[in-house]
Amino acid sequence: MGEKGFLVVISAPSGGGKTTLLNNLLKLDGDFVYSISATTRDKRGREVQGRDYHFLTAAEFKKMKDDEQLVEWAEVHGKYYGTPLKPVLQWLDTGKVVFLDLDVDGGVQVKQKFGDDALLIFVKPPTYESLKERLKSRNTETSQQIEKRLSRYPKEMKKGHQYDHQVVNEDIEKATKEILSIIKKHSKDI
C-alpha cells in the first residue's frame, strides 16, 4: 500500500461479520497483516492457540497489562481481551497495514494512542433482527450468552458513531470492497 504503516480497527456488534470481512481483506494485499488478540476466554470449537487468539490465564494477561505490553485491553462479557504491542510496532515499522478486531472501547483506546495512524471502521448489521439471527445460527453459544451479547448492542451502535467510517454489512462482498476503498484512500492521505 505505502511506505508508512497504519492500524485498521474493525469493530462490530457480536455476529456482525467482522471475522469474514477480515479474512476477505487479508487475502487482497500482501501488506495486510492481522494482529492476533490475547484473551482469557476459553477456546471455542476449532480455534487454535496462536492462530485465532493467544489464550492466556488471568495472571498472564494481568502481567502483560501491568508491564504495558498491550496496545489496548478491555473486559468484555466477563473475559479480558487485549492486543500485544510488540508485533504491532514491528509491523508498523515495516509499512504494513495492521488489522485489529476490537470491541468499540478498544477501538477508541487505539485512536487515542495512535491518532491518524489508526483508521477506525465500524461494521453495522442491516437490522437488529438480522444480527440476532446471525448469532443464533452460529450455534456456538447458549440463548443466555446470546442475550448478554445483544444487551451490548445499543452501546456499541452509539460508540460506533465515534469511528472514522461506518459500513453496513448487508452483502459481504460489497462491504469488503467498501472497506478496501476506505483503506486505500486513508493510505494516500497519511
- Which tens digit of pLDDT belongs to each residue from 83-104? 999 999 999 999 999 999 998 9
- Which tens digit of pLDDT belongs to each residue from 30-68? 899 999 999 999 998 899 999 989 999 999 999 999 999
| Window from 8-12, 60-64, 143-147, 166-170 with minimum mean pLDDT | 143-147
This prediction's pTM: 0.87
What integer is the mean pLDDT of 27-31? 91
Q: How far is 110 from 70, CA to CA, in rounded Å? A: 10
Name which of 93, 119, 108 is nearest 9 in CA terms. Answer: 119
**Domains in the chain, CATH or no CATH each:** 6-189 (3.40.50.300)
